[in-house]
Structure 1
Amino acid sequence: MSTILRAAREVDHARILELNLESEEMLSPLDAARLRQLDAQAAYHRVVCEDDDVVAFLLAFREGAAYDSPNYLWFAQRYPRFLYIDRVCVARTHQGHGLGAQLYRDLFGFAREHGFDTVACEFYTQPPNEASRRFHAGFGFREVGTQWVAEGRKQVSLQVWQASA
Structure 2
Amino acid sequence: VCEGDEVVAFLLAFREGVAYDSPNYVWFAQRYPRFLYVDRVVVAGTHQGRKLGPLLYRDLFDFARASDVDTVTCEFYTVPPNEASRRFHSAFGFSEVGSQWVADGRKQVSLQVARA
Structure 2 CA distance for aligned equivalents of residues 138 and 92 of structure 1: 22
Letter paired with 2:17: G
Structure 1 CA distance for aligned equivalents of residues 3 and 76 of structure 2: 26
Superposition deviation, residue 54 in structure 1: 0.7
Greater share of helix: 1
- Residue 98 of structure 2 is matched in structure 1 by 145
Residues 21-61 of structure 1 deviation map (CA, whole Å, 9 limit, x = unaligned): xxxxxxxxxxxxxxxxxxxxxxxxxxx11122111111111
Structure 2 CA distance for aligned equivalents of residues 121 and 97 of structure 1: 22
Superposition deviation, residue 150 in structure 1: 0.3
- Residue 60 of structure 2 is matched in structure 1 by 107
Kindly indicate whether residue 26 of structure 2 is the aligned counterpart of residue 77 of structure 1: no
State TM-score, norm by structure 1.
Answer: 0.69
Kindly indicate whether residue 7 of structure 2 is the aligned counterpart of residue 54 of structure 1: yes
Q: Which runs of 5+ in 1 are unaligned?
A: 1-47
Kindly indicate whether residue 78 of structure 2 is the aligned counterpart of residue 116 of structure 1: no
- Residue 89 of structure 2 is matched in structure 1 by 136
State TM-score, norm by structure 2.
Answer: 0.98
Letter paired with 2:108: Q
CA RMSD for the aligned pairs? 0.7
Give 4+ residue runs of structure 1 displaced > 2 Å after superposition. Answer: none
Residues 47-92 of structure 1 deviation map (CA, whole Å, 9 limit, x = unaligned): x111221111111111100001000000000000000001111111
Structure 2 CA distance for aligned equivalents of residues 138 and 144 of structure 1: 16
Aligned residues: 116
Q: Equivalent residue of 2:8, what SS?
A: strand
Q: Equivalent residue of 2:37, what SS?
A: strand
Residues 108-143 of structure 1 deviation map (CA, whole Å, 9 limit, x = unaligned): 000000000000000001111111111000111000
Identity %: 78
Q: Relative contact order (alpha carbons < 8 A, sep ≥ 6): 1 or 2 greater?
A: 2
Greater share of strand: 2
Structure 2 CA distance for aligned equivalents of residues 95 and 148 of structure 1: 29
- Residue 80 of structure 2 is matched in structure 1 by 127
